[in-house]
Amino acid sequence: MSGPDRDGQTPGHEGAGRPDASAVPDPATAPGPSPSPGLDSDAPPEANPTLRRPRPSPGEDPVRFVLESMRMGWRWLIRMRTALYLLGMLGLLTMLATVVPQEPNVASTVEDWRTGQEGPGETVSALIDLVGGFDVYGSPAFLALLLLLFLSLTACLIPRITAWVRLVRRSQPPRSRHLGDQPQVSRFATDATPDEVHAAARRLLGHRRRWRLRAPEGPDAPGPEQVAAERGLWSREGGSLVFHLSFYVLVLAIVYGQLASFEGQVGVTEGEGMGFTDTAVSYWTYRPGRWWGEDDHAGWVLDLEEFHVDWVRDPGAAGAGQPTTFASDVTIEHRNGETTRTRVEGNSPASFDGMRVHQLDWGYAPQVVVELDGEVLYDDHLTAVVEDGGGFPHFRAAVKAPAADPDLGLEVFLFPFAPDDDDGAPQPTGAPWADAPLLVVREYRGDLQLGRTQQTINELDTTAMESVGGAALRPGERVELSDGSVLEFPELRRWVGFQISQRPQIPALLLASALLFGGLIPALYAYRRRLWVSAVPDPDGGRTLVTVAGRAFQRPQTFESEHEDLVRRLAQQVGADPGTPGRDLSGTDDPASSGKDPEVARR
């Protein structure tokens, strides 16, 4: 008796399709027991109870609705795709922090943006301030995304890690019921017994090749004995887990670095008494982490004993004008009185007490003294920086003397090598070596506007000042200014710009990098494959028929050559000639795969 086909109609009964809804009795009024919920019936779909539990609406059961919503949100959060989305959003916020000034670092610039003096204007600045763009790393949006990312990564990694550990501890390669159906199959005959073949296969696969072998099953095994081996399962999945774990460590290291790191820059002039003390107010630029406080400064003193610099001075030589020496001899006096002497070079920073001192820049430090009637109005070593103008490089600085009446400002230009010509007039050149230094100043009088306009240490705001003259000096010379004060150029030194930093996240970043590359290599190049070796007596020839079957789940072309090599080595160990791998050399099929033994080759 034929049953209904896939469309619900019985063959040979056209028109006897699904019954009309009006002809179906109401389950509530029909005699006999009503159909159990969830069981099939002949009633149309609208008369059957639904199998999917209906979701409650907010008005019916608010507690259950909230729980279902939280469960759905958690399922969305624990997806790896969600972690990538969150990581991308954090990257966008980090890009915003590189474009928009951050209040913890440059509060004055942020205030100018808010007032409209700088930046895109007050309206755009107000929108940036509304979303926390002036303090990205401390904004609620950034912290919330960071917390969600950690939760997502944790929820993604823990189940995978536990499943992988369970797999490593408990799983073993499975038996194969149909060796002949595997992609790679090779057969050969040998005079060795099946036990000797299986023992040789275990030695071959388990010694140096490190295949994971299935434990011997003994005489109770369901069929002829097999040597089942597997390789690549642990390494490929383990490498993928290590690769994803590296991102977890990387994010933790970056967050910890933002909280606990410190970086500052300062210029130090060479010579005794010109040192730098590790305090918050002594740095030119100051970028502390959120957990870094003023009490974290150790108060050590760094003195620049001597700065060594030289150049290729031959204008016809290769690399003319390029520096050949660039090193600083420094002395560090710790708070406990101990002294450390070391040399800082471009690629060789100094390290002490968790701090690293890098050499970034250098320049000349001419000493400028201004006196009026025996009273010193200004006395300091300038930190002149290189400037490419006027046709050749020179060094530029500024003198600001508010003690003068009216305020005195000097624009200072230093030419390190400006020898005199035949007439005794100095001829500035672009050479950086200070064999004939010349100091040229331009004098301004008026209001320096200190504290009211933004000025760097080497900039002079002359909008409220008037130029009243200038002068040129050699080291040791003195000139008289417009109001009768005396300008003196006693000596010329050098200064070096150092970057002082403490980054406790560096070891974690190195660990994350090692995990990333250590997990990426097996995840990309390891491949999972299985191998089975079955040896059974030949009932016709009295020899042993050996079948070596294999399957690769990735990179089958690579496994093909590996399979041939394993067959060749196994045949050599059992004293057989493998011939051409993959060809049946014995002239008979393997009973384990051909169906001769119905208990083993049952399909």
pLDDT bin (cut points 50, 70, 90) of residue 105 is: confident
Helices vs. strands in the chain: H and E counts, helices first = 10, 22
At position 15, the amino acid (one-letter code) is G
Check whether 24 has a pLDDT greater than 50. Answer: no
Residue 325, helix vs strand vs coil: strand
Check whether 31 has a pLDDT greater than 60. Answer: no
Q: Where are the alpha helices (DSSP H) in 363-437?
A: none
Q: In the structure encoding, which two tokens stand for residue 550, read together?
A: 């294999």
Check whether 575 has a pLDDT greater than 70. Answer: yes
Of 600, 589, 598, 594, which Cα lies nearest the Cα of 189?
589
Poorest-pLDDT segment among 99-108, 185-194, 530-539: 99-108
Q: Give the model's pLDDT for residue 254.
A: 84
Triad 192, 197, 201: Cα angle to 5°: 150
Check whether 86 has a pLDDT greater than 60. Answer: yes
pLDDT bin (cut points 50, 70, 90) of residue 154 is: confident
Asked if residues 357 and 283 have their Cβ atoms less than 8 Å apart, the reply is no
**Looking at the chain, how many residues does it have?**
603
Q: In the structure encoding, which two tokens stand for residue 39, read together?
A: 């069981």
- Cα distances (angstroms) measured from residue 210 to each of 141, 205, 535: 49, 6, 21
Cα separation, 332 vs 276, in Å, equals: 10
Percentage of residues of the chain with pLDDT beyond 70: 84
Domain boundaries, the chain: 63-167, 174-231+527-594, 238-260+505-522, 262-502
Asked if residues 370 and 401 have their Cβ atoms less than 8 Å apart, the reply is yes
Q: Give the model's pLDDT for residue 119.
A: 85
Check whether 244 has a pLDDT greater than 90. Answer: no
Mean of per-residue pLDDT scores for the chain: 82
Asked if residues 472 and 246 have their Cβ atoms less than 8 Å apart, the reply is no
Of 451, 449, 469, which Cα lies nearest the Cα of 461?
449
Check whether 274 has a pLDDT greater than 70. Answer: yes
pLDDT bin (cut points 50, 70, 90) of residue 546 is: very high
Q: Give the model's pLDDT for residue 600.
A: 34
Rounded average pLDDT over 153-163: 85
Cα separation, 121 vs 102, in Å, equals: 16
Q: pLDDT tens digits for 35-54? A: 444 444 565 655 555 555 56
Of 360, 332, 273, 344, which Cα lies nearest the Cα of 307?
344
Check whether 197 has a pLDDT greater than 90. Answer: yes
Cα separation, 399 vs 358, in Å, equals: 28
Q: Give the model's pLDDT for residue 383.
A: 93
Cα separation, 353 vs 196, in Å, equals: 65
Cα separation, 110 vs 597, in Å, equals: 84
CATH number at 174-231+527-594: 3.30.310.80
Residue 572's contacts (CB-CB under 8 Å, 6 or more residues apart) are 578
- Cα distances (angstroms) measured from residue 424 to each of 427, 469, 477: 9, 22, 16
H or E element that contains 506: helix 506-525
Q: How many CB atoms lie within 10 A of CB 212?
A: 18
The DSSP symbol for 326 reads E
Write b or e for each residue in 455-480: b if 16 or more Cβ atoms lie within 10 A of its Cβ, otherwise e.
eeebebbbeebeeeebbbbeeeeebe
Residue 388, helix vs strand vs coil: strand
Check whether 261 has a pLDDT greater than 80. Answer: yes
Cα separation, 182 vs 548, in Å, equals: 10
Phi, psi at 430, each rounded to 5°: -95, 10
